């Protein structure tokens, strides 16, 4: 029998995040004999993100690695959470958990293959490990590059939506699981032509392949969108910009409620 994902350590961590924010101490089973005075944005993102893997990555070797991550010490995560499964090429991205029962937001272009898995860092009473399940597409808008997916995993560490408007002095973080998480500033909002209810969030964040679908969060750990594209400067002094996309939270919640009722 699989251990429950809603371990009391996770519940305690969530309560601290709610009251203190992204810099709250975190309680994980493998840290029970150590003290941790703070929690970095990179660690926060890893615990509040999912990784989507598809296409060429889904082979027998990959499935064996997933199985051992549940059942043995081979898949134990340590703070830092390096997940060495990316082999280059296409077929992977990130996603943002938004409920406790396995609903995620991501960029639509991440879902480029019929079969995809989501990976999510969770805990039982002994260790933190990677849980996983196949992805079912709930909602997809290729023109806006936005999607909602469902996986049969419990996701007790999930993200709340930012309600306040972003300003040009707002620091934002993102980065998926592929590299050191980057920080940057909010630059502007842009409407998406013909896509009512969607907005692009333009930032000065760095972004590399594999970051698509990563949650874009503020300093309180609140969700502001999911990474979509990067624009490289064609002039030497022009800095690269990355873009996230977001649908109105009320519409996201409505889509998820209808999907729950259906399934």
Instruction: Spell out the domain ranges in the chain.
Output: 8-151, 171-252
Mapped onto helix, strand or coil, the DSSP state of residue 9 is: helix
> Three-class SS of residue 221?
coil
Average pLDDT over residues 198-211: 84
What is the enclosing helix (H) or strand (E) of 146? strand 146-151
**Whole-number pLDDT of residue 157:** 87
Q: Assess whether pLDDT exceeds 80 at residue 154.
A: yes
Task: Say whether 171-252 and 8-151 share the same fold.
Answer: yes
Fold of 171-252: Thrombin, subunit H (2.40.10)
pLDDT of residue 74: 44
- Mean pLDDT score, 210-214: 85
pLDDT at 70: 58
Assess whether pLDDT exceeds 70 at residue 5. Answer: no
- What pTM value is reported for the model? 0.83
Q: Which residues pair with 243 in a beta bridge?
A: 202, 229
- At 220 the pLDDT is 86
The predicted pLDDT at position 127 comes to: 72
Judged by DSSP in three states, 213 sits in coil
Query: Stretch 21-45: mean pLDDT, rounded?
Result: 66
Whether 225 and 202 have beta carbons less than 8 Å apart is answered as no
pLDDT digits (tens, 9 = 90+) for 37-90: 556 777 788 788 998 887 666 667 766 766 665 555 444 444 333 444 444 445
Q: Residue 7 — pLDDT band, cuts 50, 70, 90?
A: very low
CATH of the domain spanning 8-151, picked from 3.30.70.141, 3.40.50.300, 2.40.10.10, 3.40.50.2300: 2.40.10.10
> How far, in Å, CA of 128 to CA of 151, rounded?
19
pLDDT value at position 216? 93
On average, the pLDDT of the chain sits at: 77
Task: Give me the residue label for tokens 């010490």.
Answer: 73
- Asked if residue 152 has pLDDT above 60, the reply is yes
pLDDT over threshold 60, residue 140: yes
């Amino acid at each position: 029998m699989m251990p429950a994902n809603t371990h009391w350590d996770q519940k305690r961590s969530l309560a601290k995040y709610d009251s203190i924010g992204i810099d709250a101490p975190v309680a994980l089973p493998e840290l029970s004999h150590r003290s941790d005075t703070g929690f970095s944005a990179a660690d926060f993102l890893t615990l509040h993100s999912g990784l989507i893997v598809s296409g060429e990555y889904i082979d027998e070797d990959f499935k064996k690695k997933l199985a051992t991550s549940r059942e043995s010490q081979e898949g134990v995560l340590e703070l830092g959470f390096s997940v060495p499964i990316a082999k280059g090429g296409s077929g992977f991205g990130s996603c943002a958990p938004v409920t406790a029962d396995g609903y995620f937001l991501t960029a639509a272009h991440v879902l480029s293959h019929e079969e995809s898995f989501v990976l999510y860092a969770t805990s039982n009473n002994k260790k933190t490990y990677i849980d996983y399940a196949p992805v079912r597409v709930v909602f997809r808008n290729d023109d806006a590059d936005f999607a909602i997916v469902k996986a049969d995993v419990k996701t007790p560490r999930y993200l709340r939506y930012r309600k306040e408007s972003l300003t040009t002095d707002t620091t934002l973080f993102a980065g998926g699981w592929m590299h050191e998480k980057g920080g940057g500033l909010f630059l502007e909002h842009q409407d998406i032509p013909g896509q009512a209810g969607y907005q692009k969030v333009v930032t000065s964040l760095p972004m590399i392949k594999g970051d698509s679908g990563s949650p874009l969060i503020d300093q309180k750990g609140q969700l502001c969108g999911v990474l979509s594209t990067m624009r490289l400067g064609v002039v030497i002094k022009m800095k690269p910009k990355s873009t996230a996309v977001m649908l109105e939270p009320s519409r996201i919640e409505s889509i998820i409620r209808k999907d729950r009722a259906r399934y």
